[in-house]
Structure 1
Amino acid sequence: MSQPMTFFALMRAHPNWLRLSRPERRRFEQETLKPIYARYPGVKMRWFDAEAFTARCSDVAMFEAASVKEFYFLIDALRDSPLMTEPYFEFVDIIPAVEDGFLDYDAQLAR
């Protein structure tokens, strides 16, 4: 299996985050999060808002990583950052997945 792994991180915003103004949130992203992401270029992230649709989590981060080790290091860096220590957010769940994994399985059956 040479395709990247995908991880869906269900996150919940804490009141500390919600108390920040929108400009403060953008500044935090620029000054704290972007440098962390830059250290792990093999991991791509997309952000989804969920708070209008579920009480379980407020946000879902989707990480696509060619290396599980690089993803692991990114998550540790986020856990060490104010994102989790302030705390601004907490991880509710992290769900690993393989996109269309059944195709690889079917291909190996055909051998």
Structure 2
Amino acid sequence: MTMPETPAADTLTVFMLVKTEPEWLGFPVETRFAKLREHVEPILQRHAAEVRMRFYDAEFYTARITDLWVWEASSRHAYELVVEALRETPFWDRYFRIVEIIPAVENAYARNYEQAPLAA
């Protein structure tokens, strides 16, 4: 079972605003990718049926954060399991500072009022 391309009505989307820490920036690029493969990739693979993640770089446009991690989860519980696993790695508040977590539901307003969402 894999996540659908278009979010279902109950899909939770979470925007996680993060900022790199000096320790992370001190690693060579190859080491950073090795650490991602070692610590983060197994978590993503373990939860791939219920959670999808996308990375966005933001350091070009803001000083507040360096990256935006967008999570789509089939349920709150699936997302919570991923966060619990991430918290057990050095990525949570050691290599990256979690600046803000913004959960959202796509087009909930339209669905709650039984209206078609605006097309873009």
The two structures have a TM-score, normalised by structure 2, of: 0.83
Q: Using the alignment, how far apart are the partners of 2:12 and 2:92 within structure 1?
A: 23
**CA–CA distance in structure 2, aligned partners of residues 55 and 37 of structure 1:** 28
8 Å CA contact 2:59, 2:66 repeated in 1: yes
Instruction: State the 4+ residue runs in structure 1 displaced beyond 2 angstroms.
Output: none
Which residues of structure 2 form unaligned runs of 5+? 1-7, 116-120
* Number of the residue aligned with 1:37: 44
SS of structure 2 residue aligned to 1:56: coil
Whole-angstrom distance in 2 between the partners of 1:90 and 1:101 = 29
Matched with 1:58 is: 66
Residue identity matched to 1:93: E
Aligned mate of 2:79, from 71, 81, 90: 71
Structure with greater proportional helix content: 1
CA distance in 1, matches of 2:95, 2:35: 11
Give the superposition deviation at 1:84: 2.0
Letter of the aligned partner of 2:99 in structure 1? Answer: V
How many pairs does the alignment contain? 107
Counterpart position of 1:96: 103
Tell me which of 5, 14, 19 is aligned to 1:12: 19
Structure 1: tracts of 5 or more residues without a match: none
Q: What TM-score, normalized to structure 1? A: 0.89
Between the two proteins, what is the percent identity of the paired residues? Answer: 36
Compute the displacement of 1:37 (Å): 1.2
